Structure 1
Amino acid sequence: MVLLSFDIEEFDMPFEYGKDISFADQISISRAGTIAILDLLDKHQIKATFFCTVTFAENIPDLIERITKSGHELASHGYYHSDFKLEHLLQSKLRLQELSGKEITGYRMARMMPVDEKEIEKAGYTYNTSINPTYLPGRYNNFNISRTFFTKQNVLQIPASVSPFIRFPLFWLSFHNLPLGIYKFLAGWTYQKDQYLNIYFHPWEFTDLNDVERFGFPAYIRKNTGQKMIKRMDSLITWMKYKKYSFATFQEFISTKTKAN
C-alpha cells in the first residue's frame, strides 16, 4: 500500500529563512496548494491522508468538507504549526473532530519533531507518524529507530519511509531534488521490501516558491515547485498505478494490518 499524505498547514516556513509573511498569505498559499493536490487525487481516483493544523482547518472549511466528502482521511498536525504545548494534542483532536464531523485517530508532529508516546496515547490517538528514521543534519538522528511500523505505548508508530540498508529518506526534499527515475527506483525498492510506502508532502510545494526575495528559500527547496511539482506528482502516481501499487489512508492501512493479525 502507498500511504500518500500531505501536511496541510499555515505556510510559516519563510520565517525560518528570516522572511516575514502575512497570515493571509500563509493561508492563501497553502490553500492554493491544497486545491492542486485534491485535483490530482480526483484525477487519479485515489485516497490520501491530510494531516492538518487546527489553525489552517479553521480558515478552509470548504476544503475540509471536500477532503472528508472525497473519502480522504483527516488527521492532526497540531493546533499551530510553529507552537506546541502538550495540551494541543487533545485540543487539536477535539477541534478537528468538531470541524469535520469525523473521528481523528492519527497524529503527526510539525517538522517531524519528537513527541512523547505516552501523551499521544493519553490524547486518544490510534497511531503516530512523527518519525523519519534517518539522519537529517540539524533536525534529527533516528538511525536507532525501526524503519517499519511498530507499537509503543499502545500506539502504532508508522515511520516515514526510507530505503532499505542505507536509509535514504523518501520524503518531500528528496522528491524535489533527485532525478525522478532515481526516486522511483528507491520507492520501488522500498515498496518491495516493506510492502508499503509512507511518503509525505506539503501544499506549498505545489505553488511557485522561486521568489527568493519574498521567501528566502535556498535552491534545494525551490527546485521543482509549482507546476513542475504538479507534473512530477502526476508522473509518480501514474507510475505507481502502472506498477499496480494500491493506495490507502492510514486508517485503511491499520484496518488491513489488524485483520491480518
Structure 2
Amino acid sequence: MILLSFDIEEFDMPFEYNKTISFEEQMRVSIDGTTTILDILKKHNIKATFFSTATFAINARKIMERIVTEGHEVASHSYYHSDFKTEHLLESKLKLEEITHTEVIGFRMPRMQPVDEKEIHKAGYIYNTSLNPTYLPGRYNNFSKPRTYFKQDGVWQIPASVSPIVRFPLFWLSFHNLPLWLYQWLCKITLKKDGYLNLYFHPWEFTDLDQKEKYNFPNYVSNNSGKLMGQRLDKLIVEMKKNNYSFSTFKELLLTF
C-alpha cells in the first residue's frame, strides 16, 4: 500500500533563503502545482491525501472543492505554514471541515517539526504524520523513534518512510536528487519490509525552482523541479502500478490497523 501525500500551503520557502515573495505569488505557485498533481492522480485513477493549511484552503476554495470531488482525503497542515500556536490545531481542523464539508482526522506539522501529541489528541485528530524517523543535519535526529506506525497519547503516529537498517529518508529531497531507478528500488525494499510506503511532496516542487535571482535555492532543492518533477512522479506511479502495488489515503490505511 502506497500513501502519496502532498502538503498544500502558502509557498513561503523563499523567505528561508532571503528572498521575498508576495502572498498572491505564493498562492499562485501552490495552486498551479496542486492542479498538476490532481491531473496526474486523475490520469492514473489513484487517491491521495492532501495536508492543507487553513490559509491555503481559505484562499483556494475551488481547488479544495476539486480535491474533495475527486475522492481525495483532506487533512490539516496547521493554520499557517510559518506561524504556529497550539490553538491552531483545533482552529485549522474546524476551518478545513467547514470549507470541505468532510471530516478531518489527520495532521502533519509544517516542516515536520515536533508537536505535543496530547494537544493533537485534544484537538480531535486520530493520526499524526509529522515524524521523519531519520537524521537530518541541522534539523533533527529521530533515530530513536520507531520506523513504522505506533500509537502515542491516543494518536496513531505514521512516520514518513525511511529505508530499513540505514534509515535513508524517502522524502521529497531524495526524490529530486537520487537517480529514479535507485529511489524506486529503495521504495520497493521498504514496501517489502513494512507493508506500506509513506511519501510526501509539495505543489511548489512542480514549479521551475532553478531561478537563483527569484528563489536563491541550492541545487539540491531545485534539481528536477517543474516539468521534470511531474514526469518523475508519473514514472514512479507507472512503475509501482506495474508491480501491482495499490495506492490509498491515510484514512484507508487506518482501517487495516
TM-score after normalising by structure 1 = 0.98
User: What is the aligned partner in structure 1 of residue 249 from structure 2?
Assistant: 249
Is 2:138 aligned against 1:138? yes
Alignment gaps of 5+ in structure 2: none
User: What is the aligned partner in structure 1 of residue 217 from structure 2?
Assistant: 217
User: What is the aligned partner in structure 1 of residue 165 from structure 2?
Assistant: 165
User: What is the aligned partner in structure 2 of residue 124 from structure 1?
Assistant: 124
Report the Cα distance in structure 2 between the residues aligned to 1:98 and 1:140, rounded to whole angstroms: 34
Offset of 1:256 from its aligned partner? 2.2
The equivalences for 1:28-67 within 5 A come to 28-67=28-67
Deviations 1:156-180 (A, max 9, x none): 0000000000000000000000000
Report the Cα distance in structure 1 between the residues aligned to 2:101 and 2:137, rounded to whole angstroms: 39
Report the Cα distance in structure 2 between the residues aligned to 1:204 and 1:155, rounded to whole angstroms: 29
TM-score after normalising by structure 2 = 0.99
Report the Cα distance in structure 1 between the residues aligned to 2:63 and 2:242, rounded to whole angstroms: 29
Deviations 1:30-51 (A, max 9, x none): 0100000000000000000000
Q: Please list every run of at least 4 consecutive aligned residues from structure 1 whose deviation after the TM superposition is greater than 4 angstroms.
A: none
User: What is the aligned partner in structure 1 of residue 239 from structure 2?
Assistant: 239
Report the Cα distance in structure 2 between the residues aligned to 1:91 and 1:115, rounded to whole angstroms: 15
User: What is the aligned partner in structure 1 of residue 89 from structure 2?
Assistant: 89
User: What is the aligned partner in structure 2 of residue 147 from structure 1?
Assistant: 147
Is 2:199 aligned against 1:199? yes
Q: Output the aligned Cα RMSD.
A: 0.4
Report the Cα distance in structure 1 between the residues aligned to 2:129 and 2:101, rounded to whole angstroms: 22
Q: Secondary structure at the match of 1:215?
A: coil
Tell me the matched-pair count: 257
Report the Cα distance in structure 2 between the residues aligned to 1:196 and 1:68, rounded to whole angstroms: 24
Q: Which amino acid aligns with 1:76?
A: S
Q: Which amino acid aligns with 1:197?
A: L
Q: Which amino acid aligns with 2:19?
A: K
User: What is the aligned partner in structure 1 of residue 108 from structure 2?
Assistant: 108
Structure 1 vs Structure 2: percent identity of aligned residues? 63
Q: Secondary structure at the match of 1:214?
A: coil
User: What is the aligned partner in structure 1 of residue 176 from structure 2?
Assistant: 176
Report the Cα distance in structure 2 between the residues aligned to 1:156 and 1:226, rounded to whole angstroms: 34
Offset of 1:255 from its aligned partner? 1.2
Report the Cα distance in structure 2 between the residues aligned to 1:118 and 1:107, rounded to whole angstroms: 13
Report the Cα distance in structure 1 between the residues aligned to 2:144 and 2:243, rounded to whole angstroms: 32
Report the Cα distance in structure 2 between the residues aligned to 1:160 and 1:256, rounded to whole angstroms: 18
Deviations 1:36-91 (A, max 9, x none): 00000000000000000011111111110100011100000000000000000000
Report the Cα distance in structure 1 between the residues aligned to 2:21 and 2:206, rounded to whole angstroms: 18
